[in-house]
Structure 1
C-alpha cells in the first residue's frame, strides 16, 4: 500500500472498450458456475472508506461481548483508472478480484487498474487494511456490475469479512465500523459478523486525537494466542472479557449522554484490561500514554488488538489543535517518529448501511 496521501497503482488488467462501458454482470448471492464470458468494467469509479478506532472491547467481536467503535475521517480512496496494467502480483487487489469472480458472473479475468491513496497510518490498529479491502470490494463491484443492480452493502460487508477471515481468523468489527460509519455498539459472536446493537452519531463537538507510535502492529500471532486461551479456558482471558464488556457498556452510555469525562474513564479501564490481562500494550505505548496524560491531561487508549500501533483519545473539538500542538512539542525530542493526528468521526461508505434496525441487549451478557 502506498504511503498516506500517495497514489499507488494496484494490479489491473481486463479488456475494455472505453470509460463508461456498462458490463453485463449479475450478482446471485451464491457461487455461480464457471465464468465463461468476460466484459468491460467502468473507469473513474471511486470508493472512499474511513478507518476506525476501537474505543473499547478489542477481540470481543469474535470472543463474545460488547465493543464500541467509531469511524474516523482518515479515508482510504480506491479509484479505478484506465491504462496498461502491471503484471499479476498476488496482492490484495488480485485476491479480492479472484474472490469476486467466484461470486459474480461476467467479470473479466483481471481487475481494472486502481489508484489507492490513504490518510490512515498503516499497521496502526486503525483498520487501514480493512479500509483498503472494503474499498477494493466497493470499487470493483461498482465498476463491474450494472449501476441499476448494485451489490447490496450487507453483501459487501459479508464478503469482505469472509475474505479477511480466511487470512486472519479474526472478527468483523472493522468491516461494520468502516461501512456503517459513526459510532457502533456491537455484540460479538464466534463466527460471522457481530450484531449491531445500537448506532449513534458521535457528538459533533468532539474530536478524536490519534497518536501513531510508528511501531507496527501485527495481529496474526495475537489472534492465534487468544484462540488458544479460549480453547484452554484461560482465567486471564475470562477476566479481560468481563472488564472489557463492562467498559464498553459504560463507553457507549457516555457517548449517548455526551459525557466526555465518563468516556475517558471507560476507555482508560478498557486499556488497562488490555494491558494487564492480555499484554496488548508495550513499554513504548505506555511511555507515550504517560507523556500525553502528563502534558495535556488527555487519556489515550490503544486501538486494535496486538502490540504496537496507535493510541486514541477523545477531546473537545475546540481544544483539539491546541492539545495536538502541545503533545507534538512534548514528543519532539524523545519520540520524534511519533505522529499526532487530530481527526473527527466519519460517515460510512453508503447511506444504505443505516437501514437495518438495532437490537438492544440486556445489561449482563456472556457472563459479564
Structure 2
C-alpha cells in the first residue's frame, strides 16, 4: 500500500492499495487448518480525500459513509460526515481479485490519515484489523485479502476459523515473472458462496473436507515452486488448485473452463480461477520475456468468440512491506 501525505491543506490525501490474486487455497483462510497462497498485483485502487466540497465518487457506493462511521467510534474528534473522496481502480470489479477489499482498506488508510491529529499516524496493523472487522461484519468471510493487499508480495497463509489468519512466510515474486489476468466479464457472488460453504462446514460435508485437503496440498506445492523460482511447477500447482475448486466445490463455470482450454491451446498457459463465487477472473504466470506474446496471442484467440473477456498483464505489488519497524501486518514470528 502506498500513501502520499499532504504538503498543505489544499492537497488531497491519497491511498493506493493493490489487488490480490489467490494462487491456491480459496476459503482456507477462514475454514482453519489449511494453507493459502496469495499474490498482490499492481492493479491498484486509489482513494483521494479531496479538499473543498466535491461530491463523493459514485464508484465508492455507500462505503465512505460506512467506513467513516466505523472510524468515528475508534478515532475521537472526527466530523459527523466523511470528507469527499475520488476513487479509481485498475482491477475489474467483482472479479475475484479483491477490488472491494482494496477499496475498503484504502478508505480506512486515507480517512485515518485525514482524521488523525497532526504528527500522529494510525498503525498499519490497526488499519488492517479494522478493515477486516468491518468487512467480516457484512460478509462473514476471511482475512486473506486484507493481509495480501497490505503486506504485498507472495504470502503463505495459515487459516484460522476466527480472526485474521497468520502469515507463515512471505516471498518477493520473481522480477522476471509476470501474471496474466483473464477477466471473464462475468461477476462473482461471493456472499452466496460464503453462506453455502459455512453451511457445508456446519454439516460436516465430505466434499468440503476433500476440497480442504486437496487445496492445502496444492498450496504446499505452489509455495515450493515459488521458493524454487519454478514458474512451470507453479502453473501445475495452480492447475491442481483449480481442479480442487471445480471438482469438489463447483466454483468454476462452463465459460471459465472454456477460457482455460483456449489459453492452454493457444499459448500454453495454465490458468486458475482467482476467488470463489462462480465467475470473475482467471490468472496464470509466465516469464516476463514471454508475456507480450502470451498476452497478444491469448487476446487474439479470445477476440470475437468471447467479446466480454479481456486479457490484463500485471506485475506483483509490494504492498506495505516498507512500513516502519514494528509495524508489520501479519508475519508470524515462528
TM-score norm. by structure 2 comes to 0.93
How far off its partner does 1:20 sit? 3.6
Matched, 1:60 2:28: yes
Counterpart in the other structure of 2:78: 107
Range with bigger deviation, 76-85 or 53-62: 76-85
How far off its partner does 1:358 sit? 3.3
CA contact (8 A) 1:53 1:126 kept: yes
Matched, 1:69 2:38: yes
**Offset from partner CA, 1:260-288 (integer Å, 9 cap, x none):** 11101110110000000000000000000
In 2: Cα distance, 1:103 partner to 1:347 partner: 28
**Offset from partner CA, 1:155-196 (integer Å, 9 cap, x none):** 001000000001100000000000000000000101111001
Range with bigger deviation, 348-357 or 183-192: 348-357
Q: How many residues are matched? A: 323
Q: Which structure 2 residues correspond to residues 10-159 of structure 1 after superposition, within 5 A? A: 20-21=8-9, 43-64=11-32, 65-86=34-55, 91-159=62-130
In 1: Cα distance, 2:217 partner to 2:301 partner: 33
Q: Which runs of 5+ in 2 are unaligned?
A: 1-5
Counterpart in the other structure of 1:26: none
CA contact (8 A) 1:122 1:129 kept: yes
Counterpart in the other structure of 2:151: 180
Q: Which runs of 5+ in 1 are unaligned?
A: 1-17, 22-41, 361-368
Counterpart in the other structure of 2:3: none
Distance 1:281 1:357, change over 3 A: closer
Question: What is the Cα-based RMSD across aligned positions, in Å?
Answer: 1.8
Distance 1:230 1:356, change over 3 A: closer
Counterpart in the other structure of 1:343: 314
Larger radius of gyration: 1
Q: Which structure 2 residues correspond to residues 288-303 of structure 1 after superposition, within 5 A? A: 288-303=259-274
